[in-house]
Chains A and B, each alone.
Chain A
Amino acid sequence: MKDLIIDRPALQALPDRLLWAVVTTVFWFIWFYLWLPWITLAAWVLSGYAGYLQYLIYDSQVDNARLFGTYLLVIQALGAVLLGWAFLEWWRFHGRDRRRPSADLTLEQLAAPFQLDPVSLAGWQMARRLVVSHDLHGRVVGAVVSEPALAPR
């Protein structure tokens, strides 16, 4: 897996690389700044009254904290609906398959919708190299069979 991953920033011009790295880092700092209410809330939970005062002063976010509680309730309700449905379906159908295993298609069944000759199709299914032609709607109309060979150089 490791050798499949192409992570070579050097393929970009150095200014591009630096620009994206710097801008991304700046973005993270902006995010940390915007997260101050969360950080303050965490400080309040962990250390008590002083943190609470700071949280209260910061943009009057206490109402938002109540709103946050409402969001949590909505998320719980949505999650319960999804998981409840999934459990119900699993309970009803687990290990019980109403569809019988289908037999593999016969050549005739495969060829019929395309109006192909089953004998020809059988030959094409064994061929190593085919040149296939189609009609205007993209349906197979014929094929020429040949053995693989190296192209003349």
Chain B
Amino acid sequence: MNVDLSGLIYGFVFYYPLFMAYIWMIGGLAYYFHYERGALAVTEPMSVLRGVPRVSIIVPCYNEADNVRDVIGHLSGMRYPDYEIIAVNDGSTDATGAILDELAVQDARLRVIHQASNQGKAVGLTTAALMASSEYLLCIDGDAILDHDAIPWLLRHFESGPRVGAVTGNPRIRNRSTMLGRLQVGEFSSIVGLLKRAQRTYGRIFTVSGVVTAFRRSALAQCGFWSPDMLTEDIDISWKLQTQHWAVRFEPRALCWILMPETLRGLWQQRLRWAMGGVQVVAKYLWITREWKARRMLPVLAEYFISVTWAYAMAFVIVMWIAGFFIDLPPRWQISLIPGWHGILIGSTALLQFFIAMLIDRHYDRRILRYHFWMIWYPLAYWMLNMFTTVAALPKVLWRESGKRAVWTSPDRGVHQSAGATKGGADAAAPSRANG
């Protein structure tokens, strides 16, 4: 049998992101019309709850002196009657610890846990989960501003579903001064929000957003809490819960305003860690291919696996394109990356996906459509970034010491300030997610 290998590879590079993009759009729109649109009319979030269970808001902080006052100050004004704030100072080397102690004197709701040394976000979260006085834990990052009405929106899922183990909120980008910041505004709508909606339509999600997720403590206890060695603790906990048959949901009205890198170096560091974390988790959960009870996670696993394959196929296409300038390749292996019919089709699809995602998210981020202008760059700059980070991530994960503690320092937080910090979040980790 004569297999046209070049046709297979080039076809895969084109068709996979194209058709996946439409699956995300169809799934996202289905979620919006089925689950989301009706609740937009609710003006009093507390009315969606039957009871008022106590909630512990957990904020892991590592060198967050620049942000922690704003973050804790905002949390003090949550529109919910019964909650505590647990700030975890993860062995910070700046003034974070002293500031938290000072804030605890002023705010009786704030409790402070000082970890004697830097242990990483997963250990900080597990420690806080043990010390919390409630069953419901709402975890946010040390530089994230939680919307005042987020608690009831998240809690209602635990009330309505006894098998709900986690509910992830809707992270929105705060810093939009540069092109990179603006691109991420669109990315968090199109790649994070729309994918989560589509995955919820299917029934399983790849990852919660580490920056804003509520958990049921008994579900966490059953699956052994967070893993200290995983680079993206949010992907890992999502898989732990779902493979233990706990449901993980998405709540678009639980908003959380976050800071993201606005330098290429910072973005590369962050995305490389996300890609490494994704590969690490998928390798850890390969056992589900032999477990009938975990079969509903198989499409999610397969989608990620194919995305990583796509990254390598795309890298191969680029290599062939460059080689074509120097070597006389056989006609079937010759390829051009100058956009033609195929390029336009996939590019237009990407812009359509951004438009649909922003149209849905405009209910929560009213002026978001103005950023669509900048999305023209996404297919070029961001797909390439995600492709290269995935290609680089796989060997780094394979050669990473098994069980090594995951401790990292986050990159810049945009041009308004610069600081290092512990920070989570592993959405948009794979290239096909970048593509659609």
Contacts and interface: CB of A to CB of B under 8 A. Distances in A.
Please say whether chains A and B are actual partners in one complex.
Answer: yes
Given A4-B174, A131-B116, A150-B102, A78 B23 contact: yes
A112 B122 CA distance: 19
A11 B221 contact: no
Given A12-B177, A24-B373, A82 B26 contact: yes
Interface in A104-144: 104-105, 109-110, 113-114, 116, 121, 124-134, 137-138, 140, 143
Contacts of B23: 78-79, 82
A130 B114 contact: yes
B343 interface: yes
A130 B131 contact: yes
B415 interface: yes
B79 to A, nearest CB: 14
Interface residues of A, number: 68
Given A78-B19, A79-B26, A140-B127, A133 B116 contact: yes
Contacts of A74: 19
A86 interface: yes
Interface in B258-309: none
B122 A138 contact: yes
Interface string B393-436: 00000000000010000000011100000000000000000000
A85 interface: yes
A37 B203 contact: no
A66 interface: no
B194 interface: no
Interface in B322-350: 339, 341, 343-345, 347-348
B408 to A, nearest CB: 15
Interface stretch (B3-11, B39-47, B59-67, B104-112): B104-112
A74 B255 CA distance: 35
B7 to A, nearest CB: 15
Interface in A60-104: 61, 64, 68, 71, 74-75, 78-79, 82-83, 85-86, 89, 97-104
A6 interface: yes
B27 interface: yes
A14 interface: no
Contact of A5 (B26, B98, B176, B228): B176
- Give the interface size class of chain B: 35 or more
A38 interface: yes
B201 interface: yes
Contact of B405 (A8, A16, A138): A138
Nearest to A112: B221
Given A7-B176, A8-B177, A148-B105, A31 B376 contact: yes
A9 interface: yes
A149 B415 contact: no
A109 B221 CA distance: 9
A49 interface: no
A31 B162 CA distance: 50
Nearest to A93: B203
B135 A105 contact: yes
A5 B174 contact: yes
B123 interface: yes
Contacts of B145: 4
Given A6-B174, A133-B116, A138 B126 contact: yes
Interface string B3-47: 000000000000000110011001100100000000000000000
A71 B341 CA distance: 13
B101 A151 contact: yes
A99 B26 contact: no
B243 interface: no
B102 A7 contact: no
A101 B160 CA distance: 10
A7 B262 CA distance: 12
Interface of B: 18-19, 22-23, 26-27, 30, 98, 101-102, 104-105, 110-117, 119-120, 122-123, 126-127, 130-133, 135, 145, 147, 161-163, 174-179, 198, 201-203, 216-219, 221, 224, 228, 245, 255, 257, 339, 341, 343-345, 347-348, 365-366, 373-374, 376-377, 405, 414-416
11 contacts: A11-B416, A24-B376, A28-B376, A64-B341, A78-B22, A97-B162, A99-B163, A132-B115, A134-B119, A134-B123, A149-B101
